[in-house]
Amino acid sequence: MAAGLPMVVTDAGGTAEAAIDGETALVVPARDSAAIAQAIVTLANDPALRQSFGAAATARARDTFSLEACTNAYAQLYEGLVSAEQQQ
């Protein structure tokens, strides 16, 4: 995603949660070689779609998975836990 490339990912594991189907990637069923092949062909035949997915993937990587974004998310989590504990 950080490289700005469109992706074809399967719905196994956490990749489908990291990518957004139809925005940063085409998500296909795991172990479905026909769906994987069709997704690759779709991207190969559509330069605008590749560009759009790539740009969205870069933005998602920066906004969601960068060191700054992750540390901010952890800080918010811990602050919320402390606040909840203090309210009890």
Per-residue 3-state assignment (H helix, E strand, C coil) for 39-56: HHHHHHCCHHHHHHHHHH
Q: What is the mean pLDDT of residues 72-76?
A: 94
Q: Cα separation of 69 and 65, whole Å?
A: 6
CA–CA–CA angle 41, 21, 46 (5° rounding)? 30
pTM attached to this predicted model: 0.79
Q: What is the mean pLDDT of residues 43-52?
A: 98
Q: What is the mean pLDDT of residues 19-40?
A: 97
Look at strands 7-10 and 25-28 and give their pairing: parallel
Using the predicted structure, report yes or no on whether residue 58 has a pLDDT greater than 90: yes
